[in-house]
Structure formats: C-alpha cells, structure tokens
Structure 1
Amino acid sequence: MKSLPKAELHLHLEGAAPPAFIAGLARQKKIDIARVFDERGDYAFDDFPHFLEVYEAATSVLKTPEDYARLVTAVAGELAEQGVVYAETFLSPDFCGGGDVSAWRDYVAAMQEAALAAEAQGGPILRGVVTCIRHFGPDRARRAALCAAETMGDFITGYGIAGNEMMGRPKDFAWSFDLAREAGLGLTAHAGEWGGPVSVREAVEDLRVTRIGHGVRAIEDLALVDRLAEDGIVLEVCPGSNIALGLYPRWDRHPICQLWERGVKVTVSTDDPPFFHTTLSDEYDRLAQAFGWDEEVLAGLNRVAAEAAFCDAPTRERVLARLGGTG
C-alpha cells in the first residue's frame, strides 16, 4: 500500500523517531539510554506504563531546537517513504522548553523551518498539534495551552491531551481546552484506549473535542457509538498500537471495522510507529487482510482524515488534491 497517498492525524513526533536516530543522538551527547533498546537496537518495553517510561527516556536526548529540527527531517523522510502526503504530529512544550513560552517559540520556529524544507523537497505537509501530558497534571496543561495559543499559526494548528488515561478526569483539563478553543485551535483528546468508553464520553462532553485519539473502546457502549456517528466525531484509530500494547489480541478482533460499519468517522494512524514495529503502509495491508478493505475503502478513510485535519481551507484543498480527489 506504499503507493496509496495517505493522511495521518495521530503521530507523536518523538514516538516516530527512528531508534537509530535516538541512539546516535545519545552517543553524540554522551547520554546513556542503552536500557531503552533491545539487542537488535529496537525500543524495548513490557507494558503501557513501561512504554511511557521508555518513551520519556528516549525523548530525554532531544534537548535543543536543533535536535527537534533534525527529528522533523528524519520523520518527514520516513513518512514520505510510506506515501504520506499530510501528517499532524503531536508536540509537547513539556519536552520542548519545559513549558516556557519564549523557549517554546524557538522550538516551534526550528521545527516549522524543517517541516517546510521537507515539504519543498517533495515530502508531506506537516502540522503540529500541541499536547499536554495528562499524568503531568492540569497546571502544566495550562502552560501547554498557553504555549499553543501563543504560537498558533501556519504550523501549530491544534491542541490535545496525551499520556496516561488513568490519571485524572477530562474535566480537570477543561480550562486549558477552553483557552485553546478561544485561540481557534482544533481540539482532540486521547481517550477510549485504557480508560474505556466513559473516557470517550467525558472527553466529548467536558472538553468539547471534534476528534478522539484512539476511541476504540467506545464499541463497548453502542449508544455512545451511535452518538459519535451522529455528531460526526472523528476517531484517530491506531490499530497496530492497540494490538502491540495488548488491547486487542489480533487484527481481526480489532473494532475499527465495527465502528466504521456503524457510521463512525474513522481514520488510520500509527501512533508511535517504531515502538510498535509498524508503518502506515503496514497498517493498511493488515486492515485489508483482516477485513477485506480495498483501496477504495482506504482512500475514503484518507478523505475523512483530510476533512478532519486541523488546517486551513487552502491546505485542505492541497491535501485532497494530493490524495487524488475531493470526495
């Protein structure tokens, strides 16, 4: 499926870092993070809490705007190889300047410059969605929202929440989402992965988001599924991630097809692809094998992603054109 043009809405920038890139940067900086890799040089973790620890350890070698610019270049190259024409990457001010607006501006400028350079060389159109980290708490989320609002523009176009779903409740973060909404940012929230269907309902009601990251456990509450379909809430589904972390045992047991059949707007993303040994092309191939989805179905999911993207109308038109049509 590499040749099929694709759009991706749920991609953590640091989580998309090739292991060799992180290992090389660690060597340059003389930082010992050998514990995050296995004997083959891949990321190694046991479960979701351990995954978060490994993720943050790997991220710890990214210390400057220049490091993040190099990361954007590397990730854009990986995306281009998979036929991705548009991607939204989750970025956290907590990792880029510690939540300080002035420092964050420097990181954004460096990442945007790298993104534009990659696009000019035929790579994907990239946009940034600022995410607060749920397990860091509501106070730090306010700082992240302020960073997002202060740098909203051509590159920073959305705001969301990631991290451990079992920490706190969505309503605890309502202030930061209100600030982001008033600034004109698109809103998304990780929910319905580990928190169950109630976390999806609370994210929709308390944070008033238009998209849900994951959201797959909504399938356990069919009334909620029907509400998502009726309200047009878009799910950023990451099947390979869900299976790698043990949420579902096999591809044919994943609920994405059930959600789609009930009229929910689903899209396909990779979440943290090298951590889960996947690519967007791999996701499409496995969905085709599990559910018989052909290129027409998959192209339709990409158009849903383009319509739900946090970008302006001219950019959306460009993305739809690169996907091969407007509907």
Structure 2
Amino acid sequence: MSDMARVKKVELHLHLEGAAQPDFIRQIAFEKKVDLSGIFTAQGGYDIHDFVHFLRVYEAATSVLTTPEDYARLTRSVLEASAGHGVVYCETFLSPDFCGGGDIGAWREYLSAMTEAADAAERDFGITMRGVITAVRHFGPDQAKRAARCAAETAGRMICGFGMAGDEKIGHVRDFSWSFDCAAEAGLPFTIHAGEWGGAQSVRETLDAYNPPRIGHGVEAISDPDLVARLADTGVVLECCPVSNVFLGVFPNWKSHPLASLREAGVKVTVSTDDPPFFHTNMSREYEALEQHFGWAETEFTEINQTALAAAFCDEETRARVAKRLES
C-alpha cells in the first residue's frame, strides 16, 4: 500500500460505470458472449483517443451491464477498489439511462441492487456510497426528463442529488430546465458538468440558469477572472478531476492545470478521479500527482477533504459518521 492510500479521502465526482475495471467488463462480456475486443488496447486497458471517442468506448463498455445483478457486482467492485485507496465516502453518478432506459419500475430494481451492494461494502470495507442521479446531456432534454422523474421518485437515503453529465457542447443548459425543476421539487440539490470542454462561458451559463452548489470540473473558469471571483464569493464547489483533464487534453500538462491557482484565488476545490480506469488513475495517484506537481501535503489534503465533506449531498447523520472516519 502506498503512503497516499493511507490518507482518508472523500470523493464527489465518480461515474459508476466509468469506474468499471477493464477486466470486470471483459468478464461480463465473456459471460454474455459479447465481443468488446475493439474497445481495449493490446495491453488490456481501455482504448481512448479523445473525449468523443471516450464517450463511445464508455457507452460500449456499459452496454454489457444489463441487469440489476450486473450493477450490484459493479458497485461492490468499485467500492472495494476505492476503499483500497483510502476513500471513506464517495458520491457516484448513477444514470437510469443505463439502468432500464429510464423506466421508473426498472430503475427501482437496479437501485435496490446497488443499495444492497453498497450497504454490504460499507460493512466490509468501511466506505459509504451515495448516488447522484445523472442525466446524459447528449441524449437530449426528453430523455433527461425520464432521469429526473426517476430521481424524484427515489430521492432518499441513497439518492441524494441530481445532475447532468455528457458532452457539454450539445444543446444549451437551459434546455433541461424541466428536469432540474422536477428534481428541485423533490428536494434534490444539483451538480452539473461545465467548464470541462465548454469554456468559462459554460460555467457562467450554468450558474445563471440553476445556481448549483457544485460544478463538475469547472476548471476552464480560470480564463475569466470575474468568473473566478464569482465562484470564490459565492462558495460554489468545483469537483476537479486533474488526471482526467490532463489525460484527455483539457490542459496539455500539469504545469498548465489551474487547480492550485483556483484554490489560491479562494475557490473551493475538491479532487476526484472521474472515470479512473479509463484515465489510468485512482485516488492515491491523484494525491501523489498533487504532491509532486503542486507541493501539496497534509494541510492541503485535509482542507480539500473537509471541503468535499461539507459539500456532500448526504444527510447530516452520514456526514457526522464520515467526519469521524476522516479524523481517525
């Protein structure tokens, strides 16, 4: 175990399907006699060329996950791996689009299976999982309504938030207002992907439209000083995924990544893995990179974890329980 794996961590930005290890997907595909060889490299990892290609590979890998039992197995696998890197609490993006196509009855069955697996993982590995139901932007506003209805119908202990991921260059964020209104009526807070590929303007438009307490990524805000000041002043939390950003070319290298600059400007930042096996990362590697490139140490790591826990969408009883784990 690396030294960074011993650091207790909170992760807020993790796509459940995107955390599926290649070996896990290959095993499921083998069991179902599905040929997915085209999405893997000769070395066995996911074959990713750019962001759009990543989305295609992601959806191809997800295509073999077709039953609640598949998702129960996936949930346990992901949580066991995360716990091995010191994660004591994670919020995972869950998409009804991949779990029954947005049908509420089917979604309930998938959610029940994932919840049972997550509760068992908490007992076995000491990690708590909560879910943020996520609409997929490039699937369009009508499909997003199905995800929002699933969120509203199953809001509670496990489902604690609503969000939107996918290709942020598709459509306009206000096109999804019905879905966010639906989730808001159910009492669910929001986190929305912006400022990963859509520039600083996508962050501004998202804030203007929905005023979410958290933004997924948001790092392209650095190009707009007034927007950076706005984020700092309002306390909006950014779910930053630096290895993902460098791997996909949002920023060409660590020297140009704005995470440290955003933090120094007073913006609340957190650190997550996004889709870890796709980008050859995990939470230990994220922290090792932050130590290497930014000189971060215990003070900074404690701060970002406290920020993440305070921004988590879970209930207060869960927050207090996780806080004790961090202190230990």
Name the TM tier (shorter chain). over 0.9
Aligned to 1:277: 280
Give 3-state SS (helix, strand or coil) of 1:184's partner: coil
Work out whether 1:251 is the aligned partner of 2:254: yes
Distance 2:222 2:257 in 1: 10
Task: Encode CA deviations 1:53-103: one digit per residue, 9 max, x unaligned.
Answer: 000000000000000000000001100100000000101000000010010
Per the TM alignment, residue 174 of structure 1 is displaced from its structure 2 partner at its CA by 1.3
Q: Which one of the candidate residues 187, 191, 209 is aligned to 2:212?
A: 209
Give 3-state SS (helix, strand or coil) of 2:160's partner: strand
Q: Which one of the candidate residues 235, 257, 261 is aligned to 2:264?
A: 261
Q: Which one of the candidate residues 183, 195, 199 is aligned to 1:192?
A: 195
* Structure 2 contact 135–164 (Cα < 8 Å) conserved: yes
Give 3-state SS (helix, strand or coil) of 2:161's partner: strand
Q: Which one of the candidate residues 128, 131, 135 is aligned to 2:131?
A: 128
Distance 2:322 2:247 in 1: 30
Work out whether 1:36 is the aligned partner of 2:39: yes
User: Residue type matched to 1:265 in 2?
Assistant: K
Distance 1:298 1:101 in 2: 39
Task: Encode CA deviations 1:183-240: one digit per residue, 9 max, x unaligned.
Answer: 1112000000000001001111112211000000000001001101111100000000
Q: Which one of the candidate residues 150, 174, 185 is aligned to 2:153?
A: 150
Aligned to 1:118: 121
Distance 2:126 2:320 in 1: 17
Moved more, 155-164 or 315-324: 315-324
Q: Which one of the candidate residues 36, 43, 50 is aligned to 2:53?
A: 50
Per the TM alignment, residue 182 of structure 1 is displaced from its structure 2 partner at its CA by 1.4
Structure-1-length-normalised TM-score = 0.98
User: Residue type matched to 2:147 in 1?
Assistant: A
Distance 2:14 2:303 in 1: 20
Q: Which one of the candidate residues 67, 81, 96 is aligned to 2:70?
A: 67
Task: Encode CA deviations 1:9-49: one digit per residue, 9 max, x unaligned.
Answer: 00000000011000000000001111110011100011111
Work out whether 1:161 is the aligned partner of 2:164: yes
Per the TM alignment, residue 123 of structure 1 is displaced from its structure 2 partner at its CA by 3.0
Moved more, 118-127 or 129-138: 118-127
Give 3-state SS (helix, strand or coil) of 1:2's partner: helix
Percent identity over the alignment is 60
Distance 1:317 1:174 in 2: 33
Give 3-state SS (helix, strand or coil) of 2:167's partner: coil
Q: How does 1:228-239 map to 2 (within 5 A)?
A: 228-239=231-242
* Structure 1 contact 142–175 (Cα < 8 Å) conserved: yes
Aligned to 1:19: 22
* Structure 1 contact 11–89 (Cα < 8 Å) conserved: yes
User: Residue type matched to 2:211 in 1?
Assistant: R
Distance 1:52 1:93 in 2: 17
* Structure 1 contact 76–123 (Cα < 8 Å) conserved: no
Work out whether 1:312 is the aligned partner of 2:325: no
Work out whether 1:227 is the aligned partner of 2:227: no
Moved more, 118-127 or 75-84: 118-127
* Structure 2 contact 80–125 (Cα < 8 Å) conserved: no
Give 3-state SS (helix, strand or coil) of 1:44's partner: coil
Per the TM alignment, residue 251 of structure 1 is displaced from its structure 2 partner at its CA by 1.4
Give 3-state SS (helix, strand or coil) of 2:5's partner: coil
Work out whether 1:140 is the aligned partner of 2:153: no
Work out whether 1:300 is the aligned partner of 2:303: yes
Per the TM alignment, residue 323 of structure 1 is displaced from its structure 2 partner at its CA by 1.0
Aligned to 1:3: 6
Structure-2-length-normalised TM-score = 0.98
* Structure 1 contact 8–269 (Cα < 8 Å) conserved: yes
Identify unmatched segments of 5+ residues in structure 2.
none
Any runs of at least 4 consecutive aligned residues in structure 1 with deviations exceeding 3 A, and if so which? none
Work out whether 1:172 is the aligned partner of 2:172: no
Per the TM alignment, residue 248 of structure 1 is displaced from its structure 2 partner at its CA by 1.0
Distance 2:230 2:80 in 1: 38
Give 3-state SS (helix, strand or coil) of 1:190's partner: strand
Q: How does 1:93-104 map to 2 (within 5 A)?
A: 93-104=96-107
Task: Encode CA deviations 1:157-192: one digit per residue, 9 max, x unaligned.
Answer: 110000001101110111111111111112000000
